[in-house]
Amino acid sequence: MSRIKICGVTTPDAARRAADAGADAVGLNFYAKSPRYVSPQQAVALIKALPAFTAPVGVFVGAPLRQVCAVAYQLGLRAVQTYDDAPPEEDTVPFAHVPAFRVKDAAGLEHIRRFVAAATASDRAPAAVLIDSHVEGQMGGTGHAAPWELLAGFDPGAPVVLAGGLTPDNVEEAIARVRPWGVDVASGVESSPGVKDAEKVARFVKNARRAFAALFA
């Protein structure tokens, strides 16, 4: 079963439109330096706009895990996405944990393998891992593609969510080449940073669904 996440929604209307287009999850970005930043207070209205079975996912950078889980509990998030160099020292249950990694070479893939193995050994296996492109000094949403040629067939021991430079026009090729469990898009479906384009969102979801269906045909 494949999953599609529209990340960095900033308004209730954008959240609702992503859900109506068929997205499985929407990402709420709590990283203050991001152009897609929303505060926990602002996020309440976005979450209220979602239908029952569209999952809100919090995106956190540099926040202590206890603080991450406190925000998740306060808002009723389904999952938390974090950028960490080391496996969590505490459990995130009942929130699914999706560690995110910026990859530029084979060493990055080996780091993910070690991370997943260590987390699993501590009974804190991630629900999935998100793989993004590596752009120095930026934490996602850059529009740069992840290294598809490296990721083809990559199995870190957890489901892979592909991010980085995805658009309605290239998502089918990306899915065919990498064969991920899920895809995540932010800038690729925007008219400007933080402003989602409803037509692009709808095309992205439609094309991603078609590509995932082809994998299992």
Active site residues: 7, 132
Distances (CA, A) of 19 to 11, 50, 156, 184, 202: 13, 7, 29, 14, 10
* Closest by Cα among 134, 131, 38, 138 to 81: 131
* Distance from C-alpha of 210 to C-alpha of 82, rounded to nearest angstrom: 29
Distances (CA, A) of 126 to 55, 74, 117: 17, 22, 10
Q: Phi and psi at residue 19, in whole multiples of 5°?
A: -65, -45
> Tokens representing 12?
């209730």
Q: What per-residue string of b and e applies to 104-134 under the rule 16 or more CB within 10 Å gives b?
A: eeeebbeebeebbeebeeeebebbbbbbbbb
Distances (CA, A) of 148 to 45, 80, 85, 177: 36, 25, 22, 7
Which helix (H) or strand (E) is 100 found in, with range? strand 96-103
Which helix (H) or strand (E) is 12 found in, with range? helix 12-21
Q: Residue 60, SS3?
A: strand
